[in-house]
């Protein structure tokens, strides 16, 4: 594992440091200020809880409602979406914090499933800035500042329950400055290896860092590394494992959740979010709901609605119309493997055309390998962001890996998608994947009618 600072999760080049904008400034000015606070702007990662805790204490942030933290290599966004919807339909005021965003920063901070407004975020940023200076001009990263601001929004709005998605890892992530009443780890695979380690054991230990003594600690990975189990036992967490303490069974029409002590919740419709792994994510969410039921009672009607009505852009999102268009932010081997499984269940298509752009520090060869022999046309694109890989790098991975199919290099995901639209016939499908940036660029193209 590595310490220090690297570029991560987008943003432009940092500008020269200036003072904070006035409290009434636009959200764009506040986000520019967040960029300037760190040498790498939005792209900066500096793991550790010391800075966040200093400012958190200066703000006097002590959540007074149940708090759930969700970590995992893949699946954490879907799990947060299920929890958010279930509690909203149960009548609670729900605060949900996720990252990264696709199109607008506001997507990260939601109340009752709706993004908060610019003014509300600006007020929270102003409070965090004042506390940051009071605590000694603490040099917060973009993500740390945003995390503190999200919790400030939730405090002002007096939410009944908070759902926080870990940004990177768990143990040293800014979200872990807050103590969860229930912690969920969805899956454990290799990603961000410079930060989390190059083995599943190392990654599992980092993610298990969100667990707390005496509190429910869930893991929905079907084969969790022993490091996660040992850490949970060592700190005295109430560990619940998929397949041992909770799980699911069913068919294509409906499924049943089961938990400890003979608990059964049957006759559940399959989740609205698509993909083979969604029953694991939904089971983790239901396990958490059951464990918090004494504090947050939830009806089965709310559970059923919460499973079938979530919306989550870019997670095996199939757009209506022909040719079929699939958007998926999959960017590591496990996630792309899941994408391939899901594509295999879609039925027959004459050709598969993929649009792909990736970050250079990802396992590019390993991520593209599951698509061997399954792609007719590869439209590989440059990503013009920090650490973005070139189209030539992706093209080399396709050809060197013997993955098959025609390969074309494009200057951007938007241009690659335009090319796919010209190539595709109505019986074909277009698959866009590889990064949040790639999917976001295509969504913007679609939004602008391109």
Kindly state whether residue 45 falls inside one of the protein's structural domains.
Answer: no
Clarify whether residues 259 and 238 are in a common domain. Answer: yes
Instruction: Name the β-bridge partners of 219.
Output: 185, 241
Q: What is the pLDDT of residue 152?
A: 97
CATH number at residue 325: 3.90.190.20
Confidence at 48, pLDDT banded by 50, 70, 90: confident
Q: How many domains is the chain built from?
A: 2
Q: Which pTM value belongs to this model? A: 0.86
The residue behind tokens 């060869």 is 365
Taking only the tens place, the pLDDT of each residue in 388-438 is 999 999 999 999 999 999 999 999 999 999 999 999 999 999 999 999 999
Give the rounded percent of residues in the chain with a pLDDT score beyond 70.
91
Higher pLDDT, 242 or 315: 242
Q: Give the model's pLDDT for residue 184.
A: 98
What's the pLDDT band for 185 if we cut at 50, 70, 90?
very high
SS3 state at 335: helix
What distance lies between CA 119 and its chain's CA centroid? 25
Domain ends where: 308, 329, 364?
308
Query: Which band of pLDDT confidence, cut at 50, 70 and 90, is reported for residue 282?
Result: very high
pLDDT score of 47? 75
Query: What's the pLDDT at 44?
Result: 53
* Element housing 71 (H / E): strand 67-71
Residue 409 counted as domain residue: yes
Which CA distances in Å does 428 have to 346, 348, 355? Answer: 12, 9, 13
User: What pLDDT score was predicted for residue 22?
Assistant: 60
Give the residue among 27, 32, 57 at the shortest CA–CA distance from 124: 27
Q: How many secondary structure helices (H) and strands (E) does the chain include?
A: 15, 19
Mean pLDDT, residues 241-270 taken together: 93
* Nearest residue to 84 (alpha-carbon basis) of 71, 73, 70, 74: 70
Which of these ranges, 34-43, 81-90, 137-146, has the smallest mean pLDDT? 34-43
Q: Mean pLDDT in the chain?
A: 89
Q: Write out the E strands in 204-296.
A: 216-219, 238-241, 247-250, 254-258, 264-269
Q: pLDDT, tens digit, for every residue of 308-321? A: 998 888 889 999 89
Strand partners, 25: none
Strand partners, 326: 318, 431
β-sheet bridge partners, residue 355:
379, 432
Q: Compute the Cα dihedral for 267, 309, 218, 186 and give only its sign.
A: positive
In a domain, 388, yes or no: yes
Which residues have C-beta within 8 Å of that of residue 244, sequence separation ≥ 6? none
pLDDT in tens, 317-365: 999 899 999 999 999 998 999 999 999 989 899 999 999 999 998 899 9
What is the C-alpha to C-alpha distance for residues 286 and 195, in angstroms, rounded to an integer? 31
Residues 324 and 424 in one domain: yes
Q: What is the rounded distance in angstroms from the CA atom of residue 168 to the CA atom of residue 71?
A: 8
Which CATH number fits the domain that encloses residue 143? Answer: 3.40.1190.10
Q: What is the pLDDT of residues 160-173, one digit of tens each?
A: 999 999 998 889 99
Domain of residue 345 covers 317-447
**What proportions of the chain, in percent to the nearest 5, are helix, strand and coil?**
40, 20, 40
Q: Are residues 303 and 323 in the same domain?
A: no
For residue 288 the two structure tokens come to 């958490």
> Is residue 324 located within the same domain as residue 304?
no
Tell me: do 290 and 347 sit in the same domain. Answer: no
Confidence of residue 266 (pLDDT cuts 50, 70, 90): very high
């Amino acid at each position: 594992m590595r310490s220090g600072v690297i570029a991560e999760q987008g943003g432009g080049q940092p500008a020269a440091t200036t003072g904070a904008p006035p409290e009434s400034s636009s959200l764009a000015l506040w986000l520019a200020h967040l960029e300037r606070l760190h040498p790498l702007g939005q792209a900066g990662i500096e793991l550790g809880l010391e800075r966040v805790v200093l400012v958190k204490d200066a703000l006097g942030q002590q959540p007074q409602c149940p708090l759930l933290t969700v970590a995992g290599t893949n699946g954490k966004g879907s799990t947060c979406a299920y929890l958010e919807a279930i509690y909203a339909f149960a009548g609670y005021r729900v605060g949900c914090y996720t990252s990264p965003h696709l199109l607008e920063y506001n997507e990260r901070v939601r109340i009752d499933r709706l993004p908060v407004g610019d003014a509300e975020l600006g007020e929270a940023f102003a409070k965090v800035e004042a506390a940051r200076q009071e605590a000694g001009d603490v040099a917060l990263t973009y993500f740390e500042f945003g995390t503190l601001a999200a919790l400030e929004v939730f405090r002002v709005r007096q939410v009944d329950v908070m759902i926080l998605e870990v940004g990177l890892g768990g143990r040293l992530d800014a979200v872990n400055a807050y103590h969860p009443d229930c912690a969920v780890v969805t899956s454990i695979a290799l990603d961000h290896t410079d930060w989390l380690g190059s083995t599943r054991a190392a990654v599992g230990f980092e993610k298990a860092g969100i667990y707390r003594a005496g509190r429910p600690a869930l893991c929905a990975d079907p084969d969790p590394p022993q490091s996660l189990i040992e850490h949970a036992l060592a700190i005295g967490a109430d560990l619940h494992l998929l397949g041992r303490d909770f799980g699911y069974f069913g068919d294509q029409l409906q499924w049943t959740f089961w938990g400890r002590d003979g608990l059964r919740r049957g006759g559940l419709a399959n989740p609205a979010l698509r993909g083979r792994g969604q029953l694991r994510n939904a089971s983790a969410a239901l396990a958490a709901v059951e464990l918090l039921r004494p504090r947050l009672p939830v009806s089965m009607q709310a559970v059923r609605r919460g499973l079938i009505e979530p919306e989550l852009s870019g997670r095996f999102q199939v757009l209506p119309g022909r040719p079929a268009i699939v958007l998926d932010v999959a960017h590591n081997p496990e996630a792309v493997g899941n994408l391939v499984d899901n594509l295999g269940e879609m039925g027959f298509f004459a050709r598969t055309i993929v649009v792909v752009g990736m970050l250079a520090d990802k396992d590019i060869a390993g991520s593209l390998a599951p698509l061997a022999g399954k792609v007719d046309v590869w439209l590989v694109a440059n990503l013009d962001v920090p650490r973005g890989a070139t189209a030539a790098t992706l093209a080399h991975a396709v050809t060197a890996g013997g993955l098959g199919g025609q390969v074309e290099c494009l200057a951007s995901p938007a241009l690659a998608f335009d090319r796919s639209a010209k190539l595709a016939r109505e019986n074909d499908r277009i698959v866009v994947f590889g990064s949040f940036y790639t999917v976001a660029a295509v969504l913007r193209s679609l939004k602008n009618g391109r």
